[in-house]
A and B are shown apart, each in its own frame.
Chain A
Amino acid sequence: MSTLVAPFQEDLEAITADVWGSFLDVDGDTPLVAGAPHRWAEHDATTSAVVSITGAWQGHVIIECSARAARMVAAALLALPEDEASEDDVADAVGELANMIGGNVKSLVASPSALSLPHVVTQPGSHQSWPGAEEVCRIDGAWNGEAVTVMVYAGVNEGKS
């Protein structure tokens, strides 16, 4: 039985780098760079993918990115031109990223816990909120100049014991 109550920042960075290196930055020349400048405007559409962890540990793993970054993820994973990526392609690809990062986060928290299937939404402007949960670690970065954020939220009673 795991005793960790929450993943640490360095865990999230390692997991995310691993996922990027395996599927989105295979040649090592387009990493997700934390803190790097990126194109972002408040009116831009945001694609969010979330997987929830329930059980001995409760929380969410969330990817938020610009709609362009989401299309680039779909293009990379599905090996098609960016302008041919459909909404379903984007939902599938960004959802699978959240699934991989979320599954690896789940391995670090208290067990037994279960991972939900990913939910993906694209909406204009503001970021989503996660009532009943608080952020425990996050990466704000840029991938090919586009905004990508990866966050872990824990239930408000997690990580305080």
Chain B
Amino acid sequence: MRAMVIDDSRAMRLILRRILSQLDFEVTEAGDGAQALESLNGGYVPDIALVDWNMPVMDGLTFITEVRKRPELRGITLMMVTTESEHDQVVRALAAGAHEYLMKPFTPDAIEDKLVLLGLARTGASA
């Protein structure tokens, strides 16, 4: 499985990379939505993208909207991982095309649970 972590914080990208690597994901990173789109345009298509909301250049909601406009990218599962926790924001993200939503701070178990829910990991895969 391939995962793309899209977050402007290097620390957060590293934390997610560590968790995903333990779940046997091959992980790539992007610092904002525009960088991530560039990577997709270059032919790298992950199974899942974990997307922060608040980022410079292109935010996560815009990124998700752009990805969902393109039928050839519909196989990518999109999960928001963000501090934006109000109900209205969750609804906006899901309406734009996100499959799942996880609030920061999170635990490794919470990431694993979401991936299991999405059918991208097995229960206890990191054990």
Interface residues of A (CB under 8 A from B): 2, 18-19, 21-23, 74, 77-79, 89, 92-93, 95-96, 99-100, 102-104, 106-107, 111-112, 115, 117
Q: Which of B14, B54, B104 contacts A117 (CB 8 A)?
A: B54
Query: Once the chains bind, are B105 and A22 in contact (CB under 8 Å)?
Result: yes
Query: Once the chains bind, are B84 and A96 in contact (CB under 8 Å)?
Result: no
Q: Mark B31-72, 1 if CB is under 8 A from A, else 0.
A: 000000000000000000000001110000000000000000
Interface residues of B (CB under 8 A from A): 8-12, 14-15, 18, 54-56, 82-86, 88, 103-107
Total cross-chain contacts (CB, 8 A): 63
Between-chain CB contacts (< 8 Å), 10 pairs: A22-B105, A77-B15, A89-B11, A92-B10, A96-B12, A99-B104, A100-B104, A103-B85, A103-B104, A117-B56
Q: Which of A19, A99, A115 contacts B9 (CB 8 A)?
A: A99
CB closest residue in chain A, given B12: A96
Residues of A within 8 A of B15 (CB): 23, 77
> Which applies to chain A's interface (DSSP): helix, strand, loop or mixed?
helix
Query: Once the chains bind, are B84 and A22 in contact (CB under 8 Å)?
Result: no
CB closest residue in chain B, given A23: B105
Residues of A within 8 A of B55 (CB): 117
Q: Which of B10, B82, B88, B104 contacts A78 (CB 8 A)?
A: B10
CB closest residue in chain B, given A22: B105
CB distance from B87 to the nearest CB of A (A): 9
Query: Once the chains bind, are A103 and B84 in contact (CB under 8 Å)?
Result: yes
Residues of B within 8 A of A103 (CB): 54, 82-85, 104
Query: Once the chains bind, are A111 and B88 in contact (CB under 8 Å)?
Result: yes
Q: Which of A78, A96, A104, A112 contacts B85 (CB 8 A)?
A: A104
Residues of B within 8 A of A18 (CB): 105
Q: Which of A22, A78, A111 contacts B86 (CB 8 A)?
A: A111
CB closest residue in chain A, given B7: A96
Residues of A within 8 A of B56 (CB): 117
Query: Once the chains bind, are B83 and A102 in contact (CB under 8 Å)?
Result: yes
